[in-house]
Amino acid sequence: MDKVTTRVKASVPLKSWELSVYDHYMSPNESAATSRQGAFFDLDKTIIARSSVLAFATPFARAGLMSKSTLLKSIYSQLLFSLSSADADKTEKLRAQLSEMVAGWPIDEVKEVVNETLHKLIEPIIFEEALDLIEEHQAAGREVVIVSSSGEEVVRPIAALLGVKSVIATRMRVEDGKYTGEIEYYAFGQAKADAIIEFARDHNIDLADSVAYSDSMTDVPMLSSVGRGYAVNPDKELRRVAIEKGWKVLTFKQPISIQDRLDAVPKKSLVIAGAGVAIVGLLALATGSRKKKSRTTTA
């Protein structure tokens, strides 16, 4: 029994799935054998243990992209948003604040800050359970997609860190190398679901045979757009909806850095996986006389 099956059996009992109207968008004449499966992941509090926006707020301030007062206002707004049920008014206020905050920021400087601080800020807060699922879906040949309301310049480097190629994220308008403050696409609520449907159509993915993961009530449309929705560490409202719809409830508890995860892999497995002579040499240096004695005995 694989890890996904084990987790599912340990979670909320399955009721009959309530598929959305989007699940059957494929042409009746299209062969199921030619379609693919997808696995769509929210980012904040689903793959990583906190808000990606909050994670990079301090580095942006240090780089002079925002004032201390703007930083505090941003953190306060994000905390209020995450601690309360989201509605249209709150969503619009957050979007307006995002537009105002980033207007005039040089996009190259934003990318530089993200790249310089990515490993320090994001690696230690990745849920190990999310990494397991991503790897299992990829091994099964499913298209893994990260779907986030955070900006594309933040989400894509995080996705690359996780070995994920496909991303759906908020896009800001850029002119002369700077953000104008206008939002071209806001990946939030129903807009996430619409983008998933479009992505699935473009990549020949059968949504009825696909899965999605999120922690937030605002992602009910996203979870409803696939055959199997999973509520990860859900807020109160999402937990209620998940139980009503028969979605599985998963609990992710263990953030782990990718480096710690690699260090935990048995050295023998690393060699077999193709590390080759370089790894063997490093192991020889690390184990010193024990390796030397072994070589002498073999000779």
Do residue 9 and residue 100 come from a single domain? Answer: yes
Range of the domain at 272: 265-298
Residue 242 placed within a domain? yes
Q: Is residue 112 part of a domain?
A: yes
CB 247 within 8 A of CB 230: yes
Say yes or no: 65 and 108 in one domain: yes
The reply to whether 12 and 107 lie within a common domain is yes
Catalytic residue among 42, 206, 215, 235: 42
285 and 231, same structural domain?
no
Looking at the structure, tell me whether residues 182 and 229 fall in a common domain.
Answer: yes
- Whether pTM > 0.85 for this model: the answer is no
Per-residue CA distances from 201 to 22, 144, 147, 196, 250 (Å): 11, 15, 16, 9, 28
Q: How many domains does the chain fold into? A: 2
Q: What is the DSSP string of 224-276?
A: HTSSEEEEES--HHHHHHHHHHT-EEE----B--HHHHHHTS-HHHHIIIIIH
Q: Mind listing the pLDDT tens digit for each residue in 105-133? A: 899 999 999 999 998 999 999 999 999 99
The encoded tokens of residue 27 equal 């042409």
CA distance 227 to 212: 8
Confirm whether 260 is domain-assigned. Answer: no
pLDDT higher than threshold 60 for residue 297: no
Residue 7 lies in a domain: yes
Residue 269 and residue 155 in one domain? no
Same domain, 178 and 42: yes
**Residue 170 Cα to chain centre, angstroms:** 14
**Any catalytic annotation for residue 89?**
no
pLDDT band at 88 (very low <50, low <70, confident <90, very high): low
pLDDT in tens, 151-172: 999 999 999 999 999 999 999 9
29 with 137, same domain: the answer is: yes
Q: Are residues 88 and 156 in the same domain?
A: yes
Q: Which of 23, 221, 56, 222 is CA-nearest to residue 150?
A: 56
Whether 35 and 126 map to the same domain: the answer is: yes
Q: Is 42 a known active-site residue?
A: yes
If one compares 139 and 28, the residue with the highest pLDDT of the two is 139
**Are 218 and 290 contained in the same domain?**
no
Quote the CA–CA distance of 259 and 188 in Å, as a whole number.
32
pLDDT score of 73 more than 50: yes
**Exposed e or buried b per residue across 214-250, where buried means at least 16 C-beta atoms within 10 angstroms of its C-beta:** bbbbbbbbbbbbbbbbbbbbbbeebbebbeebebbeb
Tell me, yes or no, whether 205 lies in a domain.
yes
Position 258 in a domain:
no
The pLDDT value recorded for residue 68 is 62
Size of the chain in residues: 299
Structural domain contains residue 259: no
Q: CB-based contacts of 52: which residues, under 8 Å, 6+ apart? A: 43, 44, 122, 148, 150, 154, 155, 158
Catalytic residue among 2, 23, 44, 194: 44
Q: Do residues 201 and 269 share a domain?
A: no
Tens-place pLDDT, residues 19-41: 333 333 343 344 444 689 999 99
Q: Is 44 helix (H, G, I), strand (E, B) or coil?
A: strand
Residue 157 lies in a domain: yes
Whether the per-residue pLDDT at 270 is higher than 50: the answer is no
